[in-house]
Chains A and B, each alone.
Chain A
Amino acid sequence: MRLLSTLSAVLLAAATSLAFDPTAYENTQIQRTYELGGAATNVQTVYTVRALKDSLGGYELVLSSPEEDVEDGTNYWEVMQGGKVWESLTVQSLSDGRKTVTIPLEPAPVGGPITFTLSQVLVHHSHPLPASIGQDDEQYLMFETNQTMVESLYSTRKETIKYRYAMRTSPSKKIISHSPAPEKYIQVGANASKKSGGTLTLGPYTSVPPTVSLSSAGVLTREPGFSMSPLKIHYPFEEPVKTIEKLVRLAEVSHWGDNLNVEDHIRLVNTGAHLKGQFSRIQYQMARFRPTFPAQIIRNIIYPLPPHSHSAYYYDVIGNISTSNFRPSHPTRGGPAILELRPRYPILGGWMDEFTVGWDMRLGDWLRSVKGHESQKVLRVPFMTALPGVVVDQAELVITLPEGARDVNVTVPFPVDAIEHSTHKTYLDSIGRPRITIKKRMCVEKHEQDVYVTYTYPFTAQFQKVFTVGIATAVMFAAFALAKRLDVRISKVAKVVG
Chain B
Amino acid sequence: MSEFPTRANVVVIGAGIVGNCLVGHLARLGWQDLVLVEKGPLPNPGGSTGHASNFIFPVDHNKEMALLGEQSANQYRDMNLSVDSGGIEVARTSERMDELERRMTSAKAWGIEAHLLTPAQVKELVPYINTEVILGGFYCPTVSVVDSLETGTVMRKEGIEKAGCKVFANTEVLDLITDDTPRPNSRRKIKAVVTDKGTIETQYVIVACGVWSNRIAAMADTYIPLVPAVHQMADVGPIDILAETNNEIGYPIVRDMDTFCYERQSAGSMEVGSYGHRPILHHPDEIPSNEEAALSPTEMPFTPDDFDQQMEEAIELMDMLGDAEIKYAINGLLSLTPDTMPCLGEIPDVEGLWSAAAVWVKEGPGMAQVVAEWMTYGYPRVIDAHGADIARFYDEEKSDEHIWARADEHFNKTYGIVHPAEQWESRRHLVESPYRSRQEALEAEFFQARVWERPQWYNSNADLCERYNLSPRGVEWDNRWWSPTTIGEHLNLRSNCGVVDLSAFQIYELEGPGAVEFADRLAVNKIDVAVGRSIYTPWLNADGGFHSDLTMMRMAEDRVRIVTGVFDGGRDEFWTRKHMPNDGSVTFTNLTTEITTLGLWGPNAPQVLAQVCGHDLSQAGSPYGSIIPIEINCAAGGDNRTVQAHLFRISYVGDTGWEIYTDWSNGPALWDALFAAGQELGIRPTGGGVYGTSGRLEKGYRLMGAELESEYNPLEAGLARPRVKAADFIGKEPYLKARETSPEVQCVTLTVEDQTDSAGRTRHMMGGNEPILDLNGERIVDSHGRVSRVTSAGYGPSVGKHLLMGYLPTEMATAGTELQVMYMNELFPVTVVGPGSAFDPDDTRLKS
Q: Do A and B come from one complex?
A: no
Binding site for B on A (CB under 8 A): none
Q: Which residues of B contact A (CB under 8 A)?
A: none
